[in-house]
Chain A
Amino acid sequence: MEGSSSSSSSSSPSSAIFYDFLDRMRNPASLDLVRSIKSFIVSFSFYAANPENDGKRVQEFFTTMEDSIRDHPLWAGATDQEVESAMEGLEKYVMTKLFSRTFSSFPEDAKTDLEVSQKIHLLQTFLKPEHLDIPLVLRNEASWLLAEKELQKINAFKSPREKLLCIMNCCKVINNLLLNASMSENHVLAGADDFLPVLIYVTIKANPPQLHSNLKFIQLYRRQAKLVSEAAYYLTNLVSAKTFISELNAKSLSIDEIEFEESMQAARLTNEETQKEATPSPEEMTSSQGHADPGPSARLHDKEARGASNYPYMDKEAGDLTIGDVERLLSVYKEVVTKYTGLCTAFRQLSFSRIENHVTTLEDRNVLLPVSKETGTNSDQRDGE
């Protein structure tokens, strides 16, 4: 079950692709391309950020650049694969430069990330494979753990391609589990009927950082020509898993409704109590596999906002609200802000004393502000200047 070449351009290591791209860009002959790229990046600061527009502009730029590269003397006689590599390098370069502008740069995105992550956190306390009717033969902790780790790596990368690869890898681990079960355990291969529940369960166990923002980022900024076939399918599955989790209630699971409500409530209370213990749990340490710390902000989100979900307006849409709600809404808002500010202060003090080495990046970062992360893996990208 190898990835088809059409969907995963993983044939050469991404760093090699990227360095090759940078090398070619250093060649004086590519000055015109470099100019186009730089002026495109600069042009972004002239416009107000708008995710859909930004996505469209970046995609159009990629298309234009692909034509330019194909016609460029530096790529004369180049194979499709070489042009493809250049495009992967370009995507990585441009999106790294535009990362803070394009990734989770809207308050709503940060808010959705927080909601999803919080909901997952509550579910983690009681959700069992049987609640999703996952067959026994597919309950393989070792496989699941591998899949979780792939998902948790997602913030270690800034390029849409590499983020997407984390998702693909996670899905491939699950795929292999399903295929193995069908061969060795005589479990009839049930395709998506088995795949999606396992992916949902793995996603809940992993609680990947900034899940919503990562998915949106890939959908908007991965080159559209590459967002097809198997890659598109697996991305859709994770979007699907996220949607399922966001809308999950007792009826979505094989669980008694009262048991569900009680478990959620108990989880909320536990969260409020453990809030003071700011030490990240092992599941939240996403910096395994030798990658640089992918996202302290994601963990921070979790910590700071726990307990906010028992506020009455969390499940409401704008259309549900009436004028009469304003007063209540304002008082709840003030309460939340007060608690939040207090918690931030407390957390920061605690963090300083307990996990000094983690704190440097947390600081005054507000969950509603765009989060820009500099990770060690990306330091090379500045070489492109």
Chain B
Amino acid sequence: MGCSSSLPDRSSGRLVGPNGENGGASDAKNLRVKLVLLGDSGVGKSCIVLRFVRGQFDPTSKVTVGASFLSQTIALQDSTTVKFEIWDTAGQERYAALAPLYYRGAAVAVIVYDITSPDTFNKAQYWVKELQKHGTPDIVLALVGNKADLHEKREVSVQDGMDYAEKNGMFFIETSAKTADNINQLFEEIAKRLPRPAPPSSSQNP
């Protein structure tokens, strides 16, 4: 007799197994997702994530709050859950060459720029190109214009962000980590766009 048959729910946790790096699913109802954050330093990558992680209120969810690695689980309307394992990357130029070590195997890349800084928008486009070339083949890309609360200082128009994202088949959103605007929407949208593993009816993954 095996525990694996008597405890299907738990044993499935193992299925994340052999290569847990693929952002793979624990099972069809509970996804576990590796999400990598890219963007220039100072665009507020970490603030977005902190907002997201601290803003969620679900006493049953297990939250890991570190300075650079965070995880948070969200429940979707179709009663599935998605656990985001969020890998922050150092945005300074001198570390740019190290990014592949982080985005390898990521299921989602969130590329952040600051709407008050065209330079960071250029840098975001650089990351988009790099991920299109070297990222996981079916990676979900999200382009995020942060600091949307700073209207007066805006230098990148909403239209520019939207156009660029559309041209590259990405999801686009403007957020404000400061006011929490669109933060949850960002992650919920990503969750909806994730490729789903085989439907629950086909009992086992191959």
Which positions in A face B, CB cutoff 8 Å?
A: 1, 3-4, 59, 63, 66-67, 70-71, 75-78, 80, 83, 133, 174-175, 178-179, 182, 188-197, 224-225, 227-230, 232-234, 236-237, 239-240, 243-244, 247, 251-253
Contacts and interface: CB of A to CB of B under 8 A. Distances in A.
Interface size class of B (residues with CB under 8 A): 35 or more
A126 B116 CA distance: 37
Chain A interface mostly helix, strand, loop or mixed? helix
B175 interface: no
A195 B67 contact: yes
B8 to A, nearest CB: 12
Interface string B8-22: 001101101111110
Contacts of B85: 228-230, 233
B16 A225 contact: yes
Given A70-B2, A240-B102, A189 B46 contact: yes
Interface stretch (B93-101, B122-130, B143-151, B155-163): B93-101
Contact of B21 (A4, A232, A251): A232
Interface of B: 1-4, 7, 10-11, 13-14, 16-21, 37, 41-42, 45-47, 49-50, 62, 64-69, 71, 85, 87-92, 94-95, 97-98, 101-102
A77 B18 CA distance: 24
A70 B3 contact: yes
Chain B interface mostly helix, strand, loop or mixed? mixed
A71 B6 CA distance: 11
30 contacts: A1-B64, A4-B64, A67-B4, A70-B2, A70-B11, A71-B1, A76-B1, A80-B7, A80-B10, A175-B67, A175-B68, A178-B67, A178-B68, A192-B37, A192-B45, A194-B67, A194-B68, A196-B90, A225-B14, A225-B17, A225-B20, A229-B71, A230-B85, A232-B20, A233-B68, A236-B101, A236-B102, A240-B95, A243-B98, A253-B94
A239 B101 contact: yes
Contacts of B91: 192-193
Given A193-B42, A230-B66, 4 more contacts: A1-B64, A175-B67, A189-B67, A243-B97
B46 A191 contact: yes
B101 A243 contact: yes
Given A193-B91, A244-B95, A224 B1 contact: no
B41 A190 contact: yes
A359 to B, nearest CB: 39
Nearest to B6: A77
A229 B101 CA distance: 14
A191 B49 contact: yes
A195 B17 CA distance: 28
B65 A196 contact: no
Contact of A228 (B21, B50, B89, B97): B21
Given A80-B10, A193-B42, A240-B98, A71 B90 contact: no
Contacts of A80: 3, 7, 10, 13
A228 B49 contact: no
A350 to B, nearest CB: 40
B198 to A, nearest CB: 20
A80 B4 CA distance: 10
Contacts of A179: 65-67
Contact of B66 (A70, A78, A175, A252): A175
A367 B71 CA distance: 42
For A66, A83, A194, A233, the residue with the greatest tally of chain B CB atoms inside 10 Å of its CB is A233
